[in-house]
Chains A and B, each alone.
Chain A
Amino acid sequence: MSKVLIIGSGGAGLVSALSAHEAGAEVIVASKTLPTRSQTSMAQGGMNAALDCDDSVEAHIADTLKSSAGLGDESQIAFMCSKAPEAVRWCNRIGLPFSRNESGEIARRKLGGASAPRACYAQDYTGLKLLHTLYDQCLKAGVEFKNGRFLLNLITDREANRVLGATFLVIETGEVEEMRADAVIMATGGYGNLYGKHSTNSVQASGDGLAAAVRAGARLADMEFIQFHPTALKGSSILISESARGAGGYLLNANQERFTDELAPRDVVARAIHDEMAKGGIVYLDIRHLGEEFIERELPQERKLAQIYEGIDPVHELIPIKPSAHYSMGGIEVDAQCMSAVKGLFAVGECANHRTHGANRLGGNSLLELVVFGRECGRNASEYGEKYPAPLLENLQYAKDLNFVRGVMYFTNQIDFYQKQQMLANIFYNNVGLVRDDMGLKAVLGAIRQMQKELPFMGPRDKSKVCNTNLVEFIEFGNKIELAEIIVVSAISRVESRGAHYRIDAPVRNDTMFGAHTITWKEDGVLCADFIQ
């Protein structure tokens, strides 16, 4: 029996856990939170699948491919889209309470960039209900959960380029724990929280898994592609689901005039909003004409959040919005089996790059991706571990990380890392956001390099061993800084515009030079980058 360690307990982690368990593996899920607190709970819009004769798998493939702007892999996309109807039926079978249409079939709605209504949903709680359904099934299957484990590093045999396990900070006790496994699945989510208050993401989306993977020798792909959701609440970046526009909501400028096709792909709509904001200072989402009954039934979360965070009732008032960092298209480079460049290290979901979203993800394709590839990944990891059990080699990683956790308490704290973190979020939003140019990107790179040097002069001010969230947040900040450099170097290298990456100094797509993936990795701690087909 192989032992599979899954790091992260959102949708991707839990689907993999169920699939690895089904394949006969002993499964452990280690996560920094209780599984139901993962970011998957925030997904609202739905899960795409061509379910009936008004739609087709071919149309789903074509829409996804088009939106990916040349960086989507056709065979990966075709695989995902053709598995989509079965993925939705599987979710239904394990109990996900999808909303229904009048004839009792799973209801679908139209999201941006889709040629047909194909997002299967559960009110505006699709992610929440999927995550809870999966968690319930994991408990039924007897999956072992180790919650409150903050990932420090992967344990690898460098010479064999083979993963052996991982080390964690046990948040409650402050101890370092080592977990060995035959295969490791990274399912830690994206890095949207780099943008801080300009992101729709959970505070936990700090990219810990990607940072640990690149330190362990994995390659990352297309890290400069970060999707901005067109409609987040202006003051708090809290998401207003695309289903608000899918149902007929309008975008209005400062003169209260419509200015764009509300259902174009997200990158197009977000940039149109950006331009209007530059002109008139403010953009609104208007759903008043949808009526109170409809809003209460289909968009109850949105109404509540607009009331709490903007103090307005969308039934009667305009919602002030802005585009906010929402989804990380970039991720750990994986092959069709979901395995990374490190043997035995798999990755799935938002932290991975399955080459399904390319330069711009379609709404409704992320929950689909984590279900389809989660099922593949869990089974593949289980089989890999069965075939190639990990040798029980002595390894220095645990000792190193123990030293780090002890030593970090003696960092000097002359510089406040919370301030730097906020600064990083602001300069990322302004210069590594919707509109980029060489000069702005290089300025950010300079600031990041400075922060990297300053890390030893920062550190946790809380010295407690027990449940030290100040320490956890500091290590998360270190991970963000590590990824920030990679993102900015990738964005500087790609001197063209494509999907979510828009360079005002190179506004045209250039397939001859850049029709390839931005691959980044580390050689002895030095960042390397190249464009690879």
Chain B
Amino acid sequence: MTISIQRSHNNETQTYNVELENVTLLTVLNHIKTSLDPTLTYSHGCRSGVCGSCAVRVNGREQLMCEYKPSDGDEIEPIRNGRVIRDLVVDSSMVEQCNRAGLAWSEKTKEEGVSAKSMEQIETQSDCILCASCYSACPVYAANPNFMGPFTLTRVWRYVNDPRELNIESKMAAIQTNGIWDCTLCGACVPVCPQLIAPMQDIKMLRMKSGMLGYPDPTMSFGGGFDLGGWDF
């Protein structure tokens, strides 16, 4: 099997020929690193899809290397929208930056009186492994590098929608700028999530919640016709 990998030292793709069948891409890269080319650089950890270290792009689509089985001719490149440190290793500081900006944590909780059903509502969102696949797939970064992005907004919704949470106001305020309104609802983040989370849906939920709390919808604030109609009277 032949696979090609984007290398950073010369900005070219390098092709490797490996005699391995029916194994994960991570197994292939481990084989390359330990027996063919020790300079090939990538991140990995758990081998089982929970540590979020090994997201890359395969033929233009985000995949976890430990869950993807490669086929002949596959092209591997680092995930997008982050600074490439070396080969497939991308600076992960966006995780901390974005989650801090969105105040993506619990502020204050009540302990009692939650139902199994209401806790199930945040089950999927709290499955997130912060692999940044959604961040890589998001086209908004071309226009706004300060966008909080899909994984942070999913995490904010996870806390806002948590039946135990008592203080959602600061979070809802934090996501008004560079947050929910910068999303174009294109949905590119949805199919790439290895945990089957749909950040776009979570962003829509946050927008609804925002409206209920009285925040204006800036995507409706111009060109909508209401204002002009009013002034002429």
What CA separation (Å) do A122 and B124 show in the bound complex? 11
Contact of A37 among B22, B45, B67 (CB under 8 A): B45
Contact A462 B47 (CB under 8 A): no
Question: Which A residues lie within 8 Å of B164 (CB)?
Answer: 92, 95
Contact A136 B47 (CB under 8 A): no
Contact A93 B111 (CB under 8 A): yes
Least CB distance from B178 to A in Å reads 17
Question: Which A residues lie within 8 Å of B162 (CB)?
Answer: 95, 97
In A100-152, which residues have CB < 8 Å from any B CB? Answer: 100-102, 104, 107, 122-123, 125, 128-129, 132-133, 136-137, 139-140, 145, 147
Contact B122 A239 (CB under 8 A): no
Least CB distance from B171 to A in Å reads 11
- Report whether over half of chain B's contact residues are helix, strand or loop; otherwise say mixed: loop
B121 and chain A: residue at smallest CB distance: A97
Least CB distance from A303 to B in Å reads 12
Question: Which B residues lie within 8 Å of A530 (CB)?
Answer: none
Question: Which B residues lie within 8 Å of A39 (CB)?
Answer: 45-46, 51
Contact A95 B159 (CB under 8 A): yes
What CA separation (Å) do A236 and B24 show in the bound complex? 11
Contact B127 A42 (CB under 8 A): no
Q: Is A33 an interface residue (CB 8 A)?
A: yes
What CA separation (Å) do A36 and B95 show in the bound complex? 10
What CA separation (Å) do A145 and B109 show in the bound complex? 25
Least CB distance from B162 to A in Å reads 7
Question: Which A residues lie within 8 Å of B61 (CB)?
Answer: none
**Among the listed stretches A175-183, A425-433, A465-473, which one makes contact with chain B, having 4 or more residues with CB under 8 Å of it?**
A465-473
Given A202-B51, A461-B38, A89 and B33 touching (CB < 8 A)? no
Contact A137 B38 (CB under 8 A): no
Binary interface encoding of chain A residues 75-103 relative to chain B, with 1 for a CB under 8 A from any of its CBs, else 0? 00000000000000100111101111110
Q: Is B28 an interface residue (CB 8 A)?
A: no
Question: Which A residues lie within 8 Å of B6 (CB)?
Answer: none
Contact of A132 among B47, B48, B123, B126 (CB under 8 A): B126
What CA separation (Å) do A464 and B37 show in the bound complex? 13
What CA separation (Å) do A136 and B106 show in the bound complex? 8
Q: Is A374 an interface residue (CB 8 A)?
A: no
Question: Which A residues lie within 8 Å of B91 (CB)?
Answer: 172
Question: Which A residues lie within 8 Å of B107 (CB)?
Answer: 140
Q: Is A418 an interface residue (CB 8 A)?
A: yes
**Among the listed stretches B97-105, B136-144, B205-213, B215-223, which one makes contact with chain A, having 4 or more residues with CB under 8 Å of it?**
B97-105
Contact A94 B106 (CB under 8 A): yes
B92 and chain A: residue at smallest CB distance: A34
Contact B53 A33 (CB under 8 A): yes
Contact A42 B116 (CB under 8 A): no
In A351-378, which residues have CB < 8 Å from any B CB? Answer: none
Contact of B50 among A100, A301, A308, A464 (CB under 8 A): A301
Given A36-B52, A145-B96, A467-B89, A41 and B46 touching (CB < 8 A)? yes
Q: Would you give 28 A-B contacts (Cβ < 8 Å), ordered by A?
A: A33-B45, A34-B53, A36-B130, A39-B46, A41-B51, A41-B52, A42-B51, A89-B111, A94-B109, A97-B122, A97-B162, A102-B116, A104-B115, A107-B116, A128-B127, A129-B126, A136-B155, A139-B100, A139-B105, A301-B49, A309-B24, A311-B22, A464-B9, A467-B85, A467-B89, A468-B41, A469-B33, A470-B33
Q: Which 6 A-B pairs have the closest CB atoms?
A: A95-B106, A136-B105, A100-B116, A467-B86, A418-B34, A140-B105
